[in-house]
Amino acid sequence: MSGFDAEWLRRREPLDRAARADALERDFAAAIRAGPDGVRRVVDLASGSGANFRVLAPRIAGDQDWLLVDHDPRLLDEQPHEIERWARGAGWRVDTGARECRIDTGRARWRVRGLAFDLADRLEDLPLESFDAVTTAAFLDLVSGAWVERLCACLARAARPLLAVLTVDGRRAWSPADAADPAVLAAFVRHQRGDKGFGPALGAAAIAQIAQRLAALGFDVRRAHSDWRIGPHDHGLLASMLDEAATIAGGDDDVGADAARWRETRRAQLAQGRLSLEVGHEDLLALPARARAGDAVVDQNAAALD
């Protein structure tokens, strides 16, 4: 999978936090059943710097044990520092080790571990049945249809809730509007379908495919918009996003020379404080049909991943 550096993840975190569908997160938290020891175990796929944990842990009741899975050792090494900074900012006690944090909020204790793991080739080796819930953020649009089929099969076997947030859905609205916007967007959507390490990426089609497949497997599936709204005050982020879009469009035969004009127009609007952008995302909650009351938590496989 194409890597994302820690700085980019840090810049997008406030936008992600503001965009998330709170109702789905509340229902996800309520659906997580603790194991016999009272601990709720959650695995976060493609965890990056741990931002998904930082949002969800305070919304999930009680003691928790999180496994943050990513392929990038640099991001895994960064996780404890980002989590420690956040936890101390909240006034909580935290002990940090190599790719691990233990947080005491005064009301709950959270253990957080990072795991270097190849989700592309080894997804089935990750024992989802050892956890009480599965989550991921800004990830499913990067994977292929075949990989989504594999993930859905794993979720069905484990019968665990899934919360997948911030999946792009293909909507982008620049303001003010420009005649070249549709062509620039079409080029960007085509670019998103490139191979990110999991086969041809689904891009904007991801949310519909995973929703349809999980519903067919008996999950109760709900979706909600979680759109980014980037205003003129986010000058640096807007500048990088318009340059990215213009560069992609400039290399697309269907856009051609219009991309250069579009870039210059947008740069002028940015300098004047007139430019804004909405980026469409969707969040998805999928709950298994069968209740898990009385299920034993299988911990042996999870221990093997330590």
The residue ranges of every structural domain in the chain are: 6-170+201-229+281-304
- Token pair of 69 as six digits: 């899975």
Between vectors from CA 159 to CA 154 and to CA 160, what angle results, nearest 5°?
90
Which pair of tokens denotes residue 155?
Answer: 């979720």
Q: What is the gyration radius of the CA atoms in the chain, in angstroms?
A: 20
Does the domain at residues 6-170+201-229+281-304 carry the CATH identifier 3.10.129.10? no
CB 10 within 8 A of CB 54: no
Q: Angle 225-226-229 (CA atoms, 0-180°, nearest 5)? A: 120
pLDDT of 155: 97
Please calculate the CA angle 24-138-6 and round it to the nearest 5 degrees. Answer: 125
What is the model's pLDDT at position 98? 87
Tell me, what's the pLDDT at 301? 44
| Averaged pLDDT, groups of 10, the chain, 306 residues long | 67 92 97 96 96 97 97 94 96 94 98 97 97 97 98 97 97 97 94 94 96 98 97 93 94 84 96 97 92 38 47
